[in-house]
């Protein structure tokens, strides 16, 4: 059974510092991996989706890498801002699961201090 882990569960950084968020998964047989942002009491906003054949994906200050063989993905946020404070979740599409069953990590809660 696929398991997704995000460590640490919470992270606090001063404004301007680069953020590094980790996601690990136990089964490398995935179609893709998706990173989301969630603000308190809100739904999830999709940030980046990396296909299993890709090594990284970039959008503005965000860069996500994928190392399928080691079961890891990292989300980098450059020059963090207080507006980046949120919970970040990663999720994988396992190939073996029936239907489009995303498996989610528990999330990393980020606080960027001004």
Partner 1 sequence: DGGITQSPKYLFRKEGQNVTLSCEQNLNHDAMYWYRQDPGQGLRLIYYSQIVNDFQKGDIAEGYSVSREKKESFPLTVTSAQKNPTAFYLCASSEQGPHEQYFGPGTRLTVT
Contact residues: partner 1, CB under 8 A: 4, 31-32, 34, 36, 41-46, 49, 89, 91, 93, 98-102, 104-107
Dist. CA 59–CA 9, nearest whole Å: 24
Cβ proximity to partner 1: between 37 and 80 the closer is 37
Q: Which is nearer to partner 1, 36 or 80 (CB)?
A: 36
* Cα of 55 vs its chain's centroid, Å: 14
Say if residue 8 is preceded by a cis peptide, omega within 30 of 0: yes
In whole angstroms, the minimum distance from the beta carbon of 62 to partner 1 comes to 15
Cβ proximity to partner 1, 50 vs 80, nearer residue: 50
Q: Are strands 56-59 and 44-51 parallel, antiparallel or unpaired?
A: unpaired
Q: Please state the closest distance from residue 31 (CB atom) to partner 1, in A.
A: 4
**Between 76 and 104, whose beta carbon lies closer to partner 1?**
104
Q: In whole angstroms, how close is the CB of 95 to partner 1 at the nearest point?
A: 8
What residues have CB less than 8 Å from 2, skipping those under 6 apart? 25, 26, 27, 30, 92, 94, 96, 97, 103
From the CB of 39, what's the least distance to partner 1, in Å? 10
Give the distance from CA 63 to its chain's centroid.
10
């Amino acid at each position: 059974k696929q398991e997704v882990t995000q460590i640490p569960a919470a992270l606090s950084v001063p404004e301007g510092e680069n953020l590094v968020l980790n996601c690990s998964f136990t089964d490398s047989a995935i179609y893709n991996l998706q990173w989301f942002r969630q603000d308190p009491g809100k739904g999830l906003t999709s940030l980046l989706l990396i296909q299993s054949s890709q090594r990284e994906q970039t959008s503005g200050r965000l860069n996500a890498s994928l190392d399928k063989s080691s079961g890891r993905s990292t989300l980098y946020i450059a020059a963090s801002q207080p507006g980046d404070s949120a919970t970040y979740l990663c999720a994988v599409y396992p190939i073996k699961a029936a239907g489009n069953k995303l498996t989610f990590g528990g999330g990393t809660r980020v606080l960027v201090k001004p």
